[in-house]
Amino acid sequence: MATTVHEPPRIDEQRNRTPPVTGSGNGGGHALPPLSGELRRVKDSAPPPSSTGIWVVLASITMTFAAFTSALIVRQGDGKDWHHLTLPGILYLNTVVLLASSVALEVARRKVDAFMRGPRNGAAPALWLNITLGFGLLFVVGQYVAWVQLRAQGLFLATNPNSSFFYVLTAIHALHVSGGLGGLVRVIYKLRNATLRKSTLVATSRYWHFMDALWIYLLVLLWMKL
Amino acid sequence: MHDMSGHAAVHHGEPTSFIHKHVFSLDHKVIGKQYYGLALVAVLIGMVLSWLMRIHLGWTNYAIPGLHLLSANGAPGNVMTPEYYLQLMTMHATIMVFFVLTTAPFAAFGNYFLPIQAGAEDMPFPHFNMMSFWVTFTGFLVLVASFFVSDGPTLGGWTQYAPLSALGPVGGPGEGWGVVLWATSIAIFCVGQLLGSLNFITTTLDMRCKGMSLWRLPLSAWGWFITSCMGLTAFAVLMPGCILLILDHVAGTSFFVPSNLVLNDQLQPHSGGSTLLWQHLFWFFGHPEVYIAIVPGMGIVSHVLITNLRRPMLSHRVLVYSMGALGVLSYMVYGHHMFVSGMNPVSSLAFSFPTLVITIPSTIVVLIWLGSLYGAKIRINAASLFALGFISMFISGGVSGFFLAQPSTDIMLHATYFVVGHFHLVMGVAAMFGIFAGTYFWFPKMYGRMMNETLGKIHFWCTFVGAYAIFMPFHYLGLAGNVRRYQAFVADYMQPLIPLHQFITVAALFTGAVQVIFLYNLIHSRFAGQQATDNPWQATSLEWSTPTTPPPHNNFGDTLPEVFHDPYQYGVQGSAGDYVMQTSPEQVNSPHDEA
């Protein structure tokens, strides 16, 4: 058998022809931001990648915390050194704050929606987004206060496995919340510059609500005695 | 057609400065080439490490000139200490598995060709894509940095079994900073691959051009898509494991170290961790990882083969379903790595069963390849030779998997060279052959020049024979009871095996040395190779329809392509010859058109 590398036929004629529109691909190209800063032109005709992307992100975060959970369950069942700690009371307050932030974000979404659809007079409705941001910051500060309280009780990262898991899980959750705060800042910035896509807002809010659900899950996990 | 003139400039315009063009580039093609370069550097380091180990295994007291420069403590008088052998072994495996077998077939070729094969102008999140490379690169630097800390890199093996890995310096050279750097590097690597997977998945699902249904994606694109789904879950689990391991080192926690552990006459200050916990977290990642290394290769090889067979595979869909089944099953089999770690017999059975089941999709894939090859007039070139070599290696390495899947035989073969031979052939060499096939096949598109075919064929035959000469004897060694991870074979029953080790060492030195042919071919062709045409292989998929070679910044110029056919319209009467390109609107009456 011999090598047969022929001179390829040119395909230029094909390229210049305009073919009939058929097929079932999604069309590509729709991930592009708008040409101008015109807010009302920012409509999504097809599901944009950020909509798929956010589920991909949430799936990987879920797997990460599933791994931590299985580690916690194994460790709790394995060692005789597990001392169940009483959760600091401020955590429950933090939970309320985080839930409130989600409510604020939903209000913000409706305001932005109305703003995108309706006549654009006045400033963009960033107020409720700022409130969300404020609650989010308050939550992170509240988590820090909880760590300070535990430290005052002499419970450090390495004190016992329960405190280890408490610090690790809350810290990594707080890191993810901080990432969400970054996302919110970006949304507010884009709203100001009239380059916000609805899909960006939707993706950010999905992420934010997921942080709520994740936090409640972690709270129950840390509270429960398995 | 989709008019996207103007849009492209907004998406991310063509960069003009050197830094934005070649260093911090948002272009998936540049990022793909960066990944390829990283893999090339990593594979050279990994290969030199394997040479050093092989020389030591063949001639234990041989002084390797200059070795003391790498580590004065690890090689006093240029003779490797037993500990340093283990340190080099760990680094060889880590570099190869993470920074070569994951980066080259998946991240490098996937980045370059997935968007083009899907008909997109780029990945949807180019900034994440750029981060993905630079984060991975940082991980590599952190790993390599461990060569230069006081007592060198970790000696715990690429699996880093606890408690040894979690104890700190008392565990031996490299078990302090070495492990911390190792775990940090791998955690960073995980972040990089998660960002990459995010882009791969969204590109495949959302960025396909008009007419490009999922079934019209080429098999290589399917390989990358399935791999990215695996990577998304696998790396997300390894990362927490690494975080906990780092904390056991630097924060004094006891996740993985049991209580009352005495090592080197010292009672360890840990209060009761779980040693098996690490293994579970590691292998839940570790087994999918071997498929992360091999599935892109399967896709690339199928793609290359079809082009050279000039006819489609027996079944496009069954091949895709089988690769998908490998992806799903790879999560259900991980416990087979722990048969001898202390697992109750019911669990062993529960992991043994899917392990035997996973051979079914693998076998189907192989049978489809063989069936498609049967009676075909294949075009022989460097790319198709390496694709055939891939199949050969995959079968040879896969057959030994049947023995290892069963706990009864695995208990005897575990921790012998039989296992080393198995995984080197089935995921190491096979994946490397996939990389070579991809390189010879796509180089003309990536650089606009052809590689030298004669050198490519010489490279193939030397590597093919060399790889078998190295790894086939491993199986015999394993059956003879030769334990793996030993740095010298002093036991009476292993003495007669030493000449075989010496033969393997010579074969390894030879096989490594002939890679110079490939390197020369790569570099020479890059600058002085024969000019490539747009479609030198007369192939059908979208990467061969780009307006220029290499493709322009936005891949397809001002208009995105439109697709009319399934990816492999070969053996038909087309206006261009025996094939019809995906972008060609001409009617084809083909029995193959499944899409």
**Which chain B residues in 499-538 lie under 8 Å from chain A, judged by CB atoms?**
533-538
Tell me: pLDDT of A38 over 60. no
Chain B: nearest CA to A153, how far in angstroms? 18
Gap between the Cα atoms of B419 and B409, Å rounded: 12
What lies within 8 Å, CB to CB, of A49 at 6+ separation is A31, B124, B125, B202, B203, B205, B206, B207
Name which of B11, B26, B210, B347 to mutate to probe chain A: the one with the most chain A Cβ atoms within 10 A of its Cβ: B210
Question: Are the beta carbons of B280 and B237 closer than 8 angstroms?
Answer: no
pLDDT in tens, B104-127: 999 999 999 999 999 999 999 999
Tokens 């592009």, residue located: A32
Domains of chain B: 28-260+269-580 (1.20.210.10)
Quote the tokens at residue A106.
């939903």
CA distance B574 to chain A (A): 11
Is A23 close to B201, i.e. CB distance below 8 A? no
> What distance separates the 2 farthest-apart alpha carbons in chain A?
80
The whole-number pLDDT of residue B13 equals 76
Selected residues 333-362 of chain B with any CB under 8 Å from a CB in chain A: none
Question: A161's torsion region: left (phi>0), alpha (psi -120 to 50) or beta?
Answer: alpha
CB contact under 8 A, B236 and A60: yes
A-chain CB neighbours of B124 within 8 Å are: 31, 48-50, 53
Q: What is the C-alpha separation between B460 and B471, in angstroms, rounded?
A: 16
- pLDDT for res B7: 36
Residue B543 near residue B116 (C-beta atoms within 8 A): yes
Residue B276 at interface with chain A, using a CB cutoff of 8 Å: yes
**A residues 79-138 lying closer than 8 A (beta carbon) to B:** 79-81
B547, HSE (Cβ side, Cα atoms, 13 Å)? 13
Q: In the prediction, which pLDDT does B8 show? A: 34
User: Measured between alpha carbons, how far is B391 from B369 in angstroms, rounded to an integer?
Assistant: 8
The model's pLDDT over A137-195, given as tens digits with 9 standing for 90+, comes to: 999 999 999 999 999 999 999 999 999 999 999 999 999 999 999 999 999 998 888 88
The pLDDT of residue B588 is: 80
**Residue A23 clears pLDDT 50, i.e. is over it:** no
Query: What's the mean pLDDT in B270-283?
Result: 90
Per-residue pLDDT, B11: 57
A45 interfacial to chain B (CB closer than 8 Å): no
Instruction: List all residues 6 or more positions away from B26 whose beta carbon is below 8 Å from its beta carbon.
Output: B12, B15, B20, B122, B126, B127, B129, B130
Query: Which residue, among B197, B198, B452, B548, would best test binding to A if mutated, counting the most A CBs under 10 Å from its CB?
Result: B198
CB contact B558 to A (< 8 Å) = no
Which of B4, B237, B534 has its CB closest to that of A8? B534
At A225 the pLDDT is 79
When pLDDT is averaged across residues B348-360 and rounded to a whole number, the result is 88
Of B10, B118, B240, nearest to A71 by CB-CB distance is B240
- The encoded tokens of residue A202 equal 């939707």
pLDDT tens digits for A45-62?
A: 446 788 899 999 999 999
Q: What pLDDT does residue A226 have?
A: 72
Distance in angstroms (rounded) separating the CA atoms of residues B294 and B302: 12
> Where residue A20 falls among pLDDT bands split at 50, 70, 90?
very low
Residue B301 is predicted with a pLDDT of: 97
A 147-176 → B contacts, CB under 8 A: 157-158, 160-161, 164, 168, 172
Nearest-Cα distance to chain B for A185, in Å, is: 17
Looking at B239-253, B350-364, B378-392, B428-442, which range is the least confident one? B350-364
Question: Domain limits of chain A?
Answer: 48-223
Q: Tell me if A164 sits within 8 A of A157, measured CB to CB.
A: yes
Tokens matching residue A137: 């910051």
Nearest to A28 among B209, B240, B377 (CB): B209
B559 forms beta bridges with B3
pLDDT at res. A121? 61
- Nearest-neighbour CA in chain A from B416: distance (Å): 30
pLDDT at residue number B343? 78
Better pLDDT: A192 or B198: B198
Q: pLDDT tens, B294-312? A: 999 999 999 999 999 999 9
Query: Which residue from A4, A15, A68 is facing B240, i.e. has the nearest CB?
Result: A68
CATH class of segment(s) A48-223 = mainly alpha
Chain A residues whose CB is inside 8 A of the B565 CB are none
Answer yes or no: do B243 and A168 touch at CB < 8 A: yes
> B-chain residues within 8 Å CB-CB of A60?
194, 197-198, 232-233, 235-236
What's the mean pLDDT in B574-584?
Answer: 90
Tokens 């007079």, residue located: A121
Q: Among candidates B480, B475, B461, which has minimal Cα distance to B421?
A: B475
Q: CB-based contact (8 Å) between A183 and chain B?
A: no
Mean residue pLDDT of chain A comes to: 81
Contact A81 B259 (CB under 8 A): yes
Contacts of A67 in chain B (CB under 8 A): 236-237, 239-241, 281, 284
Give the distance from residue A186's alpha carbon to the nearest chain B alpha carbon, in angstroms. 14
Which residues does chain B have within 8 Å of residue A35's beta carbon, measured at their own beta carbons? 6-7, 10
Does the distance separating the beta carbons of A164 and B271 come in below 8 Å? no
**Would you call B27 an interface residue with chain A, using a CB distance cutoff of 8 Å?**
no
A41 pLDDT band (50/70/90 cuts)?
very low
Which of A104-118, B118-132, B356-370, B428-442 bottoms out in mean pLDDT, i.e. has the lowest?
A: A104-118
Selected residue of B228, B546, B562, B564 to mutate for chain A interface (largest A Cβ count, 10 A) = B562
Question: Looking at CA atoms only, how far is residue B274 from chain A in angstroms?
Answer: 6
Contact state of A47 with B206 under an 8 Å Cβ cutoff: yes
Q: Which amino acid is at B24?
A: F
Percent of chain B with pLDDT over 90: 80
3-class DSSP assignment, residue B532: coil
Residues 6+ apart with CB under 8 A from B538: A6, A8, A9, B307, B576, B577, B578, B579
**Residue A37, pLDDT above cutoff 50:** no
**pLDDT beyond 60 at A197:** yes
ipTM for this prediction: 0.91
Q: Is the pLDDT of residue B189 over 70?
A: yes
Whole-angstrom distance, CA of residue B594 vs CA of residue B318? 11
Span B438-442, mean pLDDT? 98
Q: B247 CB near a chain A CB, below 8 Å?
A: yes
Residue in chain A nearest B579 by alpha carbon: A9
Q: Specify the pLDDT at position B16.
A: 83
Per-residue confidence at A4, pLDDT binned at 50, 70, 90?
very low
Answer whether B250's CB lies under 8 Å from A62's CB: no
Which residue in B567, B573, B545, B569 sits closest to B557, CA to CA?
Answer: B545
Mean residue pLDDT of chain B comes to 92
Q: Which residue has the tokens 């609500």?
A: A209
pLDDT at position A205: 94
